[in-house]
Amino acid sequence: MATDTHTTSEESTGFLTERRADLARRAGFHALLWSLIAIVLSPVLWMFIVSVNQIGFQSFIDDPAAWAAGADFSAYFRVWYESDFPYWFRNSLIVSLGATALSIGVCTLGAYSIGRLRYKGRTAMATFLLITQMFPAVLLAIPLFLVFQDLGLVNSLSGLVIAYVAFTLPFAIWMLRGFYENLPQSLEEAAMIDGSTRLGAVVRVILPLSAPAIATTAIFTWVLAWNEFIFALVLINDSQQQTLPPGMGEWVGQFALNWDMLMAGAIGATLPMLIVFFLLQNYIVKGLAEGAVKS
């Protein structure tokens, strides 16, 4: 009897020890996770604080709650009503969406060609596209400006869309190529045995299966175009034709910085990306996961 009681006590003690260890592991994991989230979000929090009160960092450390006493949202009012920010926002939206639509339309077939078909020069083409990503944008912007000047595309949004397609297309092809390579060849073969042409197999079988990967590629392509600075700075001179990154750069003066307007504008420029990532997060996760799995 004493032996049974002793055994039960040991089992109970072992269960409690294991449960405590499990709780400790969970607490440690969540502490690490929330610490990383706090580190990632700290720049966004600091942007908001400076946008409503241009407090110094040392003053914030000395009294973290003091900034709230003098907070006001006048910088947001000046950004929207007393600057060209609405034009810049509209132009960024037009240019980034136009470049994304063209890039996805071209890269969908381009990535399929490089990832699925077997022909001479396929690897060299893929390598060439990768090499184009290694050049700094400023090296490409000057020759592009000279070409666009002859074509009459300088200072126009259509010219900027073309420049962004050239800038984002190699990235989009490489991102989508990996997904196409991982799809089983039997999918197209089955469709072609049933009488479909290769183009019909691509349209009816491959593209529907590729929807999450195409959506993910489109989102990252749009982010690249939305944040691009060098091409927009070189190819656009009119302030009302500028996009957000070089437009907000005008608030950086020679002797002073409009920190509150810069931070308010940065939050306004970041909001569309946050909304897109929040609404399409399932597609992003699914697209990235499917591209990483080898069939």
What pLDDT was estimated at residue 119?
A: 82
Q: Is the pLDDT higher at 292 or at 206?
A: 206
Check whether 100 has a pLDDT greater than 90. Answer: yes
- Tell whether the torsion through CA atoms of 116, 121, 123 and 129 is positive or negative: negative
pLDDT value, residue 213: 86
In this predicted structure, what is the pLDDT of residue 294?
46
Q: Is residue 251 over pLDDT 50? A: yes
Helices 259-279/2-52 angle, 10° precision: 130
Please tell me whether the overall predicted TM-score, pTM, comes out greater than 0.85 for this model. no
pLDDT tops 90 at residue 161: yes
Percent of residues, the chain, with pLDDT higher than 70: 90
At 7 the pLDDT is 56
Per-residue confidence at 225, pLDDT binned at 50, 70, 90? very high
Structure confidence at residue 19 (pLDDT): 79
Tell me the C-alpha distance between 105 and 221, whole Å.
12
Cα distances (Å, whole numbers) of residue 228 to 96, 152, 232, 238: 9, 21, 7, 17
